[in-house]
Amino acid sequence: MESSDKSFERNNGLNLKATELRLGLPGSVSPERDDGAEDNNWYPSGEVKSLVSGDKRGFSDAIDGCSGKWVFSVSGGSEVDLCKGGGLFSPRGFNVGKSLAGSEGKNQQEGVAATVGKVNVTQPQKPLQEKRPQLSTPAAKAQVVGWPPIRSFRKNSMANHPPKNDDNAEAKSGCLYVKVSMDGAPYLRKIDLKTYGSYLELSSALEKMFSCFTIGQCGYHGVPSRDGLTERRLMDLLHGSEYVLTYEDKDGDWMLVGDVPWEMFSNSCKRLRIMKSSEAIGLAPRVMEKSKNRY
């Protein structure tokens, strides 16, 4: 590639060094980056680390300090898989160095996820109702954002009504984008519910996404906990926090997140809203009633 690089410069009368448009001070040589196609690792190895550390400076502090912001009831009926590793989790908006989730494989994601301070639980708080099976069906490999290039409208149409005569209808098909709004935030986000396997993953992802709005209100818990979900933190999740995570279900009702098994939730959730706790007070009794009716 090097030689063809130089020849293209010569043939086209292109002398990149002489043009004004280059990085660095005039006279200095900008660091050559490896343009060769030797490997698929586009990012020089040094880059990945710096990207990650940059990330830590930005959001991780907020996350570590601000965890316990989200409250949802982790009742007996819900699946709380606290041991799930980094596998599927990665808020798709974050492109931390590795661009292809699909081809890089689980290990890479876990490594990256761990370094950015993902909650990696070692100690389950409650006995697990049922351990969530790994998404082992070959049909459910990790998806690359926005690929294949299919419009959201089509994706959501097909996701809500999986095709008949399709054996794979059981397995995770497609993705389901739902809007997430937060009271007081200037804009909302869209997330793909199918990339999360549990409430915990969802909560962590949302924290990351919206922590930039709440940095000012941070300081609830000074101690960053990076080892995992401590008992104290889980209790904080459950009780007394500023915000509550709610969702609108298929019937148009607003419910607290966390009451029903994850699968049921992800299949019926149309939209999410991070509500101020003070506003959500009226929500609980209805939720209880509705749950009773369901079961």
Partner 1 sequence: MQRMTYSFPEEVLEHVFSFIQSDNDRNSISLVCKSWYEIERWCRRRIFIGNCYAVCPTMVIKRFPEVRTIELKGKPHFADFNLVPEGWGGYVHPWIIAMASSYPWLEEIRLKRMVITDDSLELIAKSFKNFQVLVLSACEGFSTDGLAAIAANCRNLRELDLRESEVDDLNGHWLSHFPDTYTSLVSLNISCLGSEVSFSALERLVGRCPNLRTLCLNRAIPLDRLANLVCRVPQLVELGTGAYSSDMRPDVFSNLAGAVTGCKQLRSLSGFWDVNPAYLPAVYPNCTRLTSLNLGYATIQSPDLTKLVSQCQNLQRLWVLDYIEDSGLEALAASCKDLQELRVFPSDPYGVEPNVSLTEQGLVSVSEGCPKLQSVLYFCRQMSNAALITIARNRPNMTRFRLCIIEPRTPDYLTLQPLDTGFGAIVEHCKDLQRLSLSGLLTDRVFEYIGTYAKKLEMLSVAFAGDSDLGLHHILSGCENLRKLEIRDCPFGDKALLANAAKLETMRSLWMSSCLVSYGACKLLGQKMPRLNVEVIDERGAPDSRPENCPVEKLYIYRTIAGPRLDMPGFVWTMYEDSALRLS
Site for partner 1 in 40-79 (CB under 8 A): 42-43, 47, 50-51, 54-55, 57-59
Q: Which residues pair with 243 in a beta bridge?
A: 70, 276
Q: Is 29 in the site for partner 1 (CB under 8 A)?
A: no
Q: Is 188 in the site for partner 1 (CB under 8 A)?
A: yes
- Name the 3-class secondary structure at 220: coil
75, 125, 152, 268: residue in contact with partner 1 (rule CB under 8 A): 152
Instruction: Give the 3-state secondary structure percentages of the chain, helix then strand then coil, rounded to 5.
Output: 40, 10, 50
**Least distance from C-beta 217 to partner 1, angstroms?**
16
Q: Which residues pair with 254 in a beta bridge?
A: 248
**Least distance from C-beta 281 to partner 1, angstroms?**
24
Number of residues that bind partner 1 (CB under 8 A): 76
Long-range (24+ apart) CB contacts under 8 A made by 31-35 are 35/1, 35/5
**Closest CB to partner 1 among 15 and 293?**
15
For residues 295 and 291, what is the distance between their CA atoms, to the nearest angstrom? 6
**Least distance from C-beta 201 to partner 1, angstroms?**
18
Binding to partner 1 (CB under 8 A) within 70-129 occurs at 92-96, 99-100, 102-103
Question: In 123-208, where do the E strands start and end?
Answer: 177-182, 189-192
**Closest CB to partner 1 among 99 and 123?**
99
Q: Is 134 in the site for partner 1 (CB under 8 A)?
A: no
Contact (Cβ atoms closer than 8 angstroms) between residue 256 and residue 283: yes
Q: Which residues pair with 256 in a beta bridge?
A: 246
147, 217, 227, 289: residue in contact with partner 1 (rule CB under 8 A): 147
